[in-house]
Structure 1
Amino acid sequence: MGVEFRSLDLLTLGVYLATMAGLGVYFSRKNDSTEDYFVGNRSFKGWVIGLSMLSTSISSITFLAFPAAAYTLDWRQLISNLMLPLAAVLAIVVFIPFFRRGKLTSAFEYLGDRFGPVARLYGTVSFLILQIIRIGQILFLVAIPVNLFTGIPITTTIMLVGVFIAFYTVAGGIEAVIWTDVIQAIVLWIGGLICLILMIDKLPEGISQVFSVAETHEKFSIGSMEWNLGERTFWTVALLGIFHFLGMYSSDQNIIQRYVATQSTREAKKATLIYSVVALPTWSLFFFIGTTLFVFYTVFPETSVASLEADQVFPYFILSQLPAGVSGLIIAAVLAAGMSTLDSSINAISTVTVVDILKPYWMKGRDDKTYLRTARWIAIGVSLLMMGGAFFFSVIEKESINDISWIVASVFGGCLVGLFMIGFFTTRVGYKAVLPALLLSVLVNLYLGFSLTGWLPEVISMDIQAYWVGVIVNLLFMALAYIFSFFIKNNKELDGLTVWTTLTAKDINLVEKNARESSIQS
């Protein structure tokens, strides 16, 4: 499959990459402490953080895998994303005040305050595993169009793109991450809209042909309404979406770090509202692009397209059908989508490793410069793991990366959502009730994971759709923790740690004021 290499595309791409690198260098000069490096001195406006949250969450899984999911199947995987507003309400009313109650930096500091060090370490390790797997997936998706564009082998492409992302993230810290996210969100929207408009313009009957052909092939289907846990029905995907966004808003360090990087609780809530409003139309846009792509190659069939994996079809269209310069801009948008997630995850992994593992356990009492230097070395190590993961995903068989991402989140997500929900919404459950529930639930999680991989004898394996593992494990954990709480009472003071013992708005403002004054004095 050959794609013409054009100098104007290269120039467009070069300008974008130079801008990102320049921002990394610029913000590297401002990082004199871990407070700067991890949370940008908590100085961001809500609209900036809102766009950063959008850019972080959409990633290349939106730009490439969403169109691939719609191209190869239908719109049923979008249903999970439509559950976002339900979780957003909880985030604005409940979650944000908890994480803004003091100078928290990590989501898992809350688990430590609520349930002790074991729960904090469990949450930290679960997050690290999930994020390292996820960034490998996303880097692989980013490498596909660059590979097609340049003809450079996929392994070399992964290495080059990974090194570039690591450079400005390690250098610039969270400020570089957030401001590049804002630019990347704008580039992604422009790129997606240009692709859609040009694709529709090439169809003989325009947009009406998209709907007529897509309806004939049931490409707008949202899945069966049957209650079937073994299939990707409407209800399966909807429930998965609820759990996914509850987890994202309550326990994803990428999001929590943005809550605490804002100037105030009000700005954090504004950011979440902005993100929730713009995310749904963004996701829908890329599913519609996938459907239009299917119609395009139905109307204009190409033998070379039939041999491509689903995740490669959209990059092939970009590079073979769009004018010189425009395709370079779109490749920049694909890179923007991936880079915005990868840089956030690298910084978040570095943050929780320092804040939740090194500071309290392995490197106690060191000076701040040591922690800052260590954070940068961790970011470099994570970047290497990211590239290794991308190499792995480049060789395995898969329906689409979007499908794999759901399986990974379900199987490796563990009890994180349940831990935070029990913490926020109960007062009777303490750490002594949580520990046995956590142990049993992790064992069940491992059993279900081994069943899915075929590592257990068939006679003792459970036949279950991989998507459901996370839901089952979280519900089991919450049920066990609550049952154990009737036998193991909680004697810990919970002021400000649950919705029933939360601080008033006046108290939260006072805490934030004291935190700002303390930061200025230090």
Structure 2
Amino acid sequence: MNLSIRLPDALAVIAYLVTMLAIGFVSARRSATAEHYFVGHRDFPGWLVGLSMLGSIISSTTFLALPAAAYVLDWRQLTVNLMVPLVAIVAVVIFIPFYRRGGQTSAFEYLGERFGVVARVYGTLNFILLQLIRLAQVLFLMSLPMQFLTGVSLDWVILGAGVFVGLYTIAGGMETVVWADAVQAAIKVLGGVLCLAWVLHELPGGFAQVVEVGQAHGKFSLGSFDWDLTQRTFWTVAILGVMNWLNIYSAEQTIVQRYVAARSTWEARKATLLFSGIAVPVWTMFFFIGTSLFVFYRVSPDPAVAKLQADQVMPYFVLTHVPAGLAGVIIAAVLAAAMSAIDSGVNSIATVTVVDLLKPYLARGRSDRFYLQAARVATGVAIVVAMGGALFFSRLEKESMNDVSLIVFSVLGGAITGIYLIGFFTRRVDGVALNVALAFALALNLYLGLGSLKVLPEAWRIGVHSYWVGAVVNVVFMALAYGLSLLRRRAPRDLTGLTVWTMERRPDAAPKGPGA
């Protein structure tokens, strides 16, 4: 389907792209060392870091897949994100002080200090794998409206978008990422507001009609409240949400880099609270957009919509109903949704590749210039792999990309969240107990994952929904690791600063505000 681009829309998109390039190349002059490339100058204010967190987390999955999920089903997948404020409190009280205490750059440096090389390398490789899959999903979702807009094949749109993001991210590093993501966050929220406003404007009954028709069709449901592990109930999704956000706030490198790039512990806490306070209403808005589109196409049927994938419905509406100029802002917001996630993701992959793999193990004792160049190469490689993954997703049959995201996190997430919780909250578990429990947990993860995806014969499967796999694996891992630690005598070890029971307050390098 080829919908011709209108000049005002093209100008809005071009203005956005030029702005991103300008930010990248201006920031490049300040990224002269590997340290600056990874965390800037560690002097970003809380409001800027908070907006950049919002920009990083609100990806194409939010902008396109959440409306698609609401359009096809209901609001039950919003439950995942309703867990954010709860977990944010834990992050502010516990996680941020841990990462601020010693000038760390990577989330996985902590695992090395607490448990040794196996935990650090496992955490790093697990993060890189999941991040590459996420970036591929984001890049694919961004390509859908661009294909509608230009008529260019999906493959070429994916390749072109990937190369563009690579240009400004490779150049500027973290300085670029923080400023670009903050600008992109504002554009994305504006784009969502404009889209929702126009859907309501096009409906004869406006907001009230969406509520009436949506309720009649159960579109606002958060799912069944039955305790059924085999179904996508409220509790299934809520537990997945807690595990998901514990993982993000404790072990997601894109977030940890922002903790340590903030000016002080107080500013990092402000950033986290700002993000958490804004994000839930924004996610709710995108679910409401999906429900509004469902109502709109029931009231005003369009035969073309029946032929579209769920992820294509919102772009189709924008390009067929929203006036020129306004549509361009929304299209720029879709681009921003993808680019902010991709630039953060590839920068974080480059960071952990250098900090957790090259510096300590694979290329020790090299010059700072070598590590800076290695980071730029790693950024480029991550972009290429993400483009390949996006091409794969373009050929994959699916309900919606948000559903794919939740399944991927649950099935491939392993025991990483459990490792951090064991590290933070226990003193008994050491590297030996953890390594044995981790081996068992990964085997269990493989078994449950293959079963939930129906790869194993039915007689071999356990009736656990794919959303539950990650939670089950982490609980079993933590119980086994702690149990093993009770059975063996361990050598005394100084854990000062490594658990919540042995925290040692260390001053930040930069000045702090109240409550630091």
TM-score scaled to structure 2, two decimals? 0.97
1:233 aligned residue: 233
Cα distance in 2, alignment partners of residues 54 and 292 from structure 1 = 24
The answer to whether the Cα contact below 8 Å between 1:166 and 1:380 also exists between their aligned partners in 2 is yes
1:190 and 1:470 map into 2 onto residues whose CA distance is 35
The structural deviation recorded for 1:432 is 1.5
RMSD between aligned residues = 1.3
* Structure 1 residue aligned with 2:506: 508
Deviation at 1:186, TM superposition (A): 0.5
- Name stretches of at least 5 consecutive residues in structure 1 with no aligned partner: 516-522
| Cα deviation code 1:264-300 (max 9, x no counterpart) | 1111111101011101101011011111111111111
Please give the per-residue CA displacement for 1:157-215, whole angstroms capped at 9, x wherever unaligned: 00000100111111110111110101101101111111111111111122111111111
Residues 420-442 of structure 1 deviation map (CA, whole Å, 9 limit, x = unaligned): 00000001111111110011101
1:128 match:
128
Q: Structure 1: how far apart are the matches of 2:268 and 2:143?
A: 33
Q: Secondary structure of 1:9's match? A: helix
Identify the residue that residue 210 of structure 1 maps to in structure 2.
210
Q: Which residue of 2 aligns with 1:403?
A: 403
State the Cα distance separating 1:11 from its structure 2 match. Answer: 1.2
Distance 1:19 1:514 in 2: 32
Give the 3-state SS of the residue equivalent to 1:324 in structure 2. coil
Change (3 A) 1:373 1:159: same
Question: Equivalents in 2 of 1:508, 1:498: separation in Å?
Answer: 14
Alpha carbons 1:100, 1:512 under 8 Å: kept: no
- The answer to whether 1:496 aligns with 2:497 is yes
Gaps of 5+ in 2: none
- Equivalent position SS for 2:378: helix
Task: Give distance in 2, aligned partners of 1:398 and 1:492.
Answer: 49
Task: Give the 3-state SS of the residue equivalent to 2:32 in structure 1.
Answer: coil
Q: Which stretch of the first structure deviates more once superposed, 389-398 or 2-11?
A: 2-11
Structure-2 residue corresponding to 1:157 = 157
- Rounded to whole Å, the distance in 1 between the matches of 2:30 and 2:7 is 35
* Counterparts of 1:455 and 1:84, CA distance in 2: 33
Task: Report if aligned partners of 2:264, 2:511 keep a CA contact under 8 Å in 1.
Answer: no
The residue aligned with 1:290 is 290
The corresponding residue for 2:195 is 195
State, as a whole percentage, how many aligned pairs show the same letter: 52
* CA–CA separation in structure 2 for the residues paired with 1:239 and 1:464: 13
Aligned partner of residue 486 in structure 1, secondary structure? helix
1:61 paired with 2:61, answer yes
Q: What residue in structure 2 maps to residue 354 of structure 1? A: 354
* Residue-pair matches, total: 511
Quote the offset at 1:403 in angstroms.
Answer: 0.2
Closer, same or farther: CA 456–214 of 1 in aligned 2, 3 Å: closer
Distance 2:458 2:327 in 1: 50
Q: Shift of residue 91 of structure 1?
A: 0.4
Deviation at 1:513, TM superposition (A): 5.7
Match of 1:83 in 2: 83
After alignment, is 199-208 or 452-461 more displaced?
452-461
Which position in structure 1 is the counterpart of 2:428?
A: 428
> Hey, what does 1:302 align to over in structure 2?
302
Q: Which residue is 2:21 aligned to?
A: 21
Please identify, of 459-468 and 58-67, the stretch whose mean Cα deviation from structure 2 is larger.
459-468
Distance 1:514 1:111 in 2: 27
User: 2 CA distance for matches of 1:415 and 1:264?
Assistant: 30
CA deviations over 1:122-158 (Å, ceiling 9, x no partner) = 1001101100111000000011011110110000000
Letter in 2 for 1:55: G
1:7-18 matched pairs, under 5 angstroms: 7-18=7-18
Give 1:508 deviation, angstroms: 2.3
Contact 1:165 1:343 in 2 (8 A): yes
For the Cα contact (< 8 Å) 1:97–1:508, is it kept in 2?
no
Alpha-carbon contact 1:430-1:492 (below 8 Å) kept: no
Q: Does structure 1 conserve the Cα–Cα contact (< 8 Å) formed by 2:453 and 2:466? A: no
Tell me the distance in 2 between the aligned counterparts of 1:185 and 1:488. 50
Residue equivalent to 1:148: 148
